[in-house]
Amino acid sequence: MEALLLGVGLLLGAYVLVYYNLVKAPPCGGISNLRGRTAVVTGANSGIGKMTALELARRGARVVLACRSRERGEAAAFDIRQESGNNEVIFMALDLASLASVQAFAAAFLSSEPRLDILIHNAGISSCGRTREAFNLLLRVNHIGPFLLTHLLLPRLKTCAPSRVVVVSSAAHRRGRLDFKRLDRPVVGWRQELRAYADSKLANVLFARELATQLEGTGVTCYAAHPGPVNSELFLRHLPGWLRPLLRPLAWLILRAPRGGAQTPLYCALQEGIEPLSGRYFANCRVEEVPPAARDDRAAQRLWEASRRLAGLGPEEDAEPNEDPQPEDPGVPPSLSTPHPEERTVSEPDLSPQSSPDLSKVIRRIRIKAEPETQVS
């Protein structure tokens, strides 16, 4: 009996150590009053996204839940309004698998919302499920859709600067290896899905890195955020039905609750003083080093160019400075962004590969390449 009690005690002690060192997430601090600011959170009808939106609403922000399912999105908006006491929480339809849906969302948002201070790309998939598309669905939802949405909303982010873009990534990016010759090939089978998921998460990290370089000096900063091991629908959604009852108790014990998973994205969105770390990767509310493949500036530039093509955008030299970029869909209206008196407008930088080098960008690339160990907590 004593041996049994000792064994139970050791197991409990080991679990406590694992929980507080690996599972429990540090709480997010940052700006406490967000009244007058607007945030968009994709995939906010459940899990990490819903908890992120709830915390933003509690701090007084106007929060747009950008979700694929109208029924679930409106239900989540109702829940958040009830729990936060903030009635400025609304649903807007967005399906990241459809470029037309991304364009329609951007058009609707720009025509109805005068501000955008925080854009959080939380939505994502880990498997294609039973869907078979003529393109890489994992890359489309996890990277190309967010890339296009950022591009379309960027002028509004600039007029509301200082503003932030947060891309929810994953530690799986460490297993990613982008093959630009096969970037948009359809994904078939679970082995290809695992590889494509890791590749899409690597794309998230490289996107945040290159976006930070492109936006140097505009007042818009961006960050890649790893939520940690989270017990969410993304973890269980694509498991065989017979396996879910077996893994649910284990997931409850060793994985973070969605509220814990929301802490690092919230930190990147709200923490003051991390602007010099724009483009970096965060985990557990602190900056973390990434492998060489995730800090390859040449690969980041190549991904940027490939993403423009896959998103249906024209060559970069066609973009007009100081104007909202227009998607191919003629139904998208021109920019309606009229800065508030307290806002400052920053001109669009020349993003064309042929443009003369910008000294600030060169310095930025050298500084990021060095990857200092600086941490902000």
Select the more confidently predicted residue: 142 or 129: 142
**Per-chain mean pLDDT for the chain:** 80
Task: Give the pLDDT of residue 354.
Answer: 35
Of 230 and 198, more confident: 198
Q: What is the pLDDT of residues 47-57, one digit of tens each?
A: 999 999 999 99
Residue 336 has pLDDT above 60, yes or no: no
Q: Which pLDDT does position 209 carry in this prediction?
A: 97
- pTM summary value: 0.76
- In the predicted model, what is the mean pLDDT of residues 150-163? 98
The active-site residue, picked from 197, 223, 267, 281, is: 197
CA atoms within 13 A on the CB side of 301: 10
Which of 376, 282, 372 shows the shortest CA–CA distance to 25?
282
Q: How far apart are CA 201 and CA 73, in angstroms?
A: 24
Preceding omega of 162 cis (within 30 degrees of 0): yes
Which one-letter amino acid corresponds to residue 32? S
Determine phi and psi for 348, rounding to 5 degrees: -70, 130
Task: Return the bridge partners of 177, or none.
Answer: none
Between 12 and 89, whose confidence is greater?
Answer: 89
Are 177 and 199 in contact by the 8 Å Cβ rule? The answer is yes
pLDDT at 330: 37
Residue 104 has pLDDT above 80, yes or no: yes
Q: Between 190-214 and 297-310, two packed helices, what is the crossing angle to 10 degrees?
A: 100
pLDDT value, residue 139: 96
pLDDT digits (tens, 9 = 90+) for 216-225: 999 999 999 9
**311, pLDDT greater than 80:** yes
User: What is the per-residue pLDDT across 68-103, written as a single tens digit (0 to 9) for each?
Assistant: 999 999 999 999 999 999 999 999 999 999 999 999
Percent of the chain with pLDDT over 70: 69
Q: Give the pLDDT of residue 229.
A: 72
Known catalytic residue at 19:
no
Comparing 19 with 134, which gets the higher pLDDT? 134
Burial class (CB in 10 A: 0-12, 13-18, 19+), 86: buried
Give the residue-averaged pLDDT of 250-263: 74
Work out whether the CA dihedral 206, 23, 41, 286 comes out positive or negative: negative
Query: Hey, what are 178's tokens?
Result: 């982008």
